[in-house]
Structure formats: structure tokens, C-alpha cells
A and B are shown apart, each in its own frame.
Chain A
Amino acid sequence: MPEITRQSLTTSPEASTDALIEIDGVGKTFTGQDGEQIVALEGTDLKIGRGEFVSIVGPSGCGKSTLLNLVAGLLETTMGEVRIDGKTVDGPYTDLGFAFQSDLLLDWRSVLRNVLLQCDMRGLNSRKHEARARELLHSVGLDGFEDKRPFELSGGMRQRVALCRALLLDPPMLLMDEPFGALDALTREQMQSDLLAMWQESRKTVLFITHSISEAVFLSDRIVVMSGRPGKVREIIDVDIDRPRDLSVRDSAEFGAIVHRVRLLFQEMGVIH
């Protein structure tokens, strides 16, 4: 089936690719406080296919978050353009779910109301989505926590709520900026396999930023390794590990080989010695 779709797509002239996100020669320059020009990102090309899970790894300050914000239309590109679904992004692109390192839950709202923040921010009727919100909370094992306040939850539970919030309106695409970066190692592994299970079912397009090489290898179809100052795509590595994956994948030889390859790249860049 996928073969047929791809063929029919390549034959039609306007849809020359099945990429959902196209990053085309994108650069971003910020003006510092003293008028100095800071190049955060330079000549970046990247195509992300529908339903693909792509991770971006790179040293701090290599423009990973900038790239994510450019894709979401929260920042304007200085050069090049971002296209989603073939349309140029100008202004916030809202048909997506966003997750950050900080869960950004609001203390003054219950867990359920935090998930429903999506509706309030978009001016939608939250009653219509309450059932879906409860269902999502149930799916991440948070039944009975709907009326709790965020401060009564552990870090992992809070990040789960944030994930439910991102998924509430079932967006075709998820942007994740180190979502598990603040969690302890065990919770982190659990969240990774939960995310993977969710992705396996829904096949959303995911753009995932992380500092953890093994996290990137475990989750992704492809890993974009970026070099820093100015940020650039250094190399794109395919992760040819069969899906669905479980935690045992981490002990396999192919997993180790890819981790090793990414680490070598970092060593070449002088990020780690």
C-alpha cells in the first residue's frame, strides 16, 4: 500500500514529495542587545515525512529550539522558508501539539482543566472536549487525578498531563523540545516507551529535540545531528531498527552501533572529548 501511494504522489506535479514539513534553506539571525548580529541557524534543509519520528540532537546553542520555533511559525525566518503541507508558514501554525522541558502546567487549574487549556486558548467550547480529555488522562494512567492540582503530582505525572494537553485536539504533528529533560532516569525511560507506544498507534509526525543520544536512537526513524554556532545540519542518520521497539532494543548491537556513530560525530565536532 505505501508503495502505491508514493508512486501516485510522485507522478502528480504539485505534490512532488510526501513530506509534511519542509525546511528549505532556513536561516535565522537575531539582533543582540548591543546591535550585534547573532546567527542562530544557517542554511538548514530538512524534509520530514508524514508519520515520521525525527529527533534533533546537537550541542547547546546549536539552534535546535530556534528551528522548532521556526517550524511552529513562532519566529520569522531570516532566510529561506518553512512549508507545512505544502503551504508556507507565516505566523503561528496551530495545527500541532507542543511540549517543552518544563511541563508548563498552571497551578490554578485542575489537571483536567490544564488539559483543556487547548480549548480555552483557541476559543473552543471545552465541554465538547472534556470526554476526550478524560480518555487521554485514562490512557496515561491518570484516572482519579482529574480534579487534583498540578502540585500534587510527581514530575513524570505532570509531564504526562502536558502530553495529554498536546494531544487533546489530535494534531497530526507534535513538536517536542526536550520534553523528558527534567525527569529522573527511570521515569524518563518509562515516558520514552509510553511515547513510542502512543506514536505506534497514532503515527503522528514528531519532531523531537533531545540531548540524549540513546533517547534519540530509541525513538526515531531519523536523527538530525546539528553542529553549533552557527547552527547547521551536520549529518542525518537513519535508524534502521525494526518497529515496534521495546526496551530490549537498547541492548542490541545495532542500537549500540548507531549510538556510537552519533557520539563519534559529537567527538569530531569537539562537543565531547
Chain B
Amino acid sequence: MSEQADGKRISFFSARSRGWHVDAFWMLLSMVIVLVMWEALVAIFGFPAHLLPRPLAVVYSLIEHWNTIVDNAWDTIAAVLAGYILAVAFAVPIAILIVISPQAERLLYPPLVATQSIPKIALAPLFIVWFGFGIETKISVAFLICFFPIVVDTIVGLRSIDPSLIQLARSMGAPPSRIFLKLRLPGALPSMFGGLKVASALAVVGALTGEYIASDSGLGYILLSASGEMNTALLFGVLIVLSILAMIFFYAIELLEKLLIPWHVSQRSHTQ
């Protein structure tokens, strides 16, 4: 163990620990600049509060409505996670099936592409009819919108194995199942994570869309009511909360990626 830790091999831990403070500094700096410019803009041009509230007014509004925001945020988070997890649970096996069986590909791929060409948001009214105004509608929209990128990127990943590698494995007498588990699947992970990261952002879009059209809870619902009341400070506050949540989600997936595929070219140290 100690030999590995001391070795000069490029570990993502060392790469991260070096860059961590620097990254945080730049992020903080860029946020401060945005806030200062925002405050200055409002002060100089005297925008009315219902168009562009001062940053401080947004903070006050956040504090004032904090409990409501937190309660509703849980609804949104639940819908995002449920839609996302369901999408992964269905998309990955279907992608595997399509790759290992030509029959499954002929059977599944055309309807998959066909449903993909329907704008998912256009399906939302249908979900209202089916599921009503509960969390199911939100989950369904999030699920549908996440599904396709995961399927496509998993298929691409599983297919991009070097044919010579399969030849090599067969010459070692490996059965197809072993080739799949030990060579194809690990090789597909980088591409799969591409899809998983895109889908993580889309899941939030899906859940919010669901909340816009058919919900009486969630951050999307608060956004709509705040907009109706011209409560722009609250609008901004919820937007900030939403983007922070989406960022946490995205980075959680990225962390998982770093843990699972530290060997991939995308995970190596930036400083070279």
C-alpha cells in the first residue's frame, strides 16, 4: 500500500489536492465579481426591484422563505433522483441488450429513436392525464428526458471495444460472458459517464418542467408562484438554490466517475 502511495504515479488524489484551493479561490473570486457588478448595475441604472432586485434583497428573501424553499426543494430532489435512477436502471440493461443481440437491436432501436424524436415536454400533458398532479408526472418527464443520452452513450461505449482485443481474449479461450464483463463493460465506462453527466443536468430540467405544468409543490412551483406575484427577489433566490442543487448533483456523478475510472485519459492530471 505505502509503496503505491509513495510512487510517482499520477493519482487523482494528488492532482485534486493540489488544485482544490486554487479552484475554490477562482470560483469565489468570480462569484464576488458577479455580485459586485450586479449591485453596481442596480445602483447606477436604478432598476426597479420587481425587474432586478439588489443581491442583498435576494438574500433577505431567501432567509424569509427558507423553510418553504427547503420543503419544496425536497420534492424536486426526490423527483430528480427518482427519474434519474429509473432512467439508469432501464437504459443500461436495454443498451446492453441492444449491443449483445442483433435481434434486440432491430426490435428495440427503431421505437427508441421514434420516441426520442417526440419532444419530451410535449408528452407532459399526457402524463397529467395518466398520473395527475403528483410526483409521478415529474418523475416521468425526468425519466424520459434522461433515458436517451444514457442509452446512446452506453451503446457507443460498449461498441467501441477494439476488435483485436476480442480476438485476443478468444485466443485465450475466454467465453463471451467473461469478455463482456472484464473487457467490454470496463471499457464502456468512460463513455457511459458522458451520458450519465449529460443526463444529470437533464433530470433537473425534466423535474422542473413537470412542476411547471402539473404540480402544487417543488421549486418549479415556487418559481411560478413567485413570478405571478412579481416577487423577483424570491425568483432569484430559488434560481440560486436550484443551480447549487444541480451543481451538487453533477459533481456527485463526476466524483463517482473519478472513483470508478481513475485510469481514464479524462481523469489524468491537468498539469502536464
Residues of chain A lying within 8 A (CB to CB) of residue B168 = 98, 100, 104
B106 located at the interface, meaning its Cβ lies under 8 Å from any Cβ of chain A in the complex: no
In whole Å, how far is A109's beta carbon from the nearest beta carbon of chain B? Answer: 8
Known: A94-B172, A98-B171, A151-B268. A107 touches B263 (CB 8 A): yes
Q: Are B264 and A74 in contact (CB under 8 A)?
A: no
Say yes or no: A147 contacts B265, CB within 8 Å. no
Whether a CB of chain B sits under 8 angstroms from the CB of A96 is: yes
* A102 in complex: contacting residue of B164, B178, B182, B264, CB < 8 Å: B164
Determine the chain B residues whose CB is within 8 A of the CB of A69 once the complex forms. 167
A122 B261 Cβ-Cβ under 8 A? no
Q: What is the size, in residues, of chain B's interface with A at 8 Å between Cβ atoms?
A: 27
Q: Which residues of A contact B264 (CB under 8 A)?
A: 107-108
* Distance A69 CA – B163 CA, assembled complex (angstroms): 12
Give the chain A neighbours of B261 by CB distance below 8 A: 108
Q: Which of A100, A117, A122, A147 contacts B173 (CB 8 A)?
A: A122
Q: Report B-chain residues with C-beta under 8 Å of the C-beta of A191.
A: none
Secondary structure at the A interface, as helix, strand, loop or mixed, is loop
By secondary structure, the B interface counts as helix
User: Taking A94-B172, A106-B183, A121-B182 as contacts, is the C-beta distance between A74 and B268 under 8 angstroms?
Assistant: no
Pick from A72, A100, A147: contact of B4, CB under 8 Å: A147
Contact with A along B94-125 (1 / 0, CB 8 A): 00000000000000000000000000000000
Indicate if the CB atoms of A121 and B3 lie closer than 8 Å. Answer: no
Indicate the member of B7, B162, B165, B264 with the most A CB atoms within 10 Å: B165
**Tally of chain A residues near chain B (CB < 8 A):** 27
Tell whether A74 pairs with B173 under 8 Å between CB atoms, given A102-B164, A123-B178, A147-B9. no
> Are B183 and A92 in contact (CB-based, < 8 A)?
no
Q: Does A118 contact B (CB under 8 A)?
A: yes
B interface residues, Cβ below 8 angstroms from A: 3-4, 7, 9-10, 162, 164-165, 167-174, 178-179, 182-183, 186-187, 261, 263-265, 268
8 contacts between A and B (CB under 8 A): A94-B173, A98-B168, A106-B183, A106-B187, A108-B261, A108-B263, A120-B182, A151-B268
Apart from A121-B174, A121-B179, list 7 A-B contacts with CB within 8 A: A96-B171, A107-B263, A108-B264, A118-B172, A122-B173, A147-B3, A147-B7
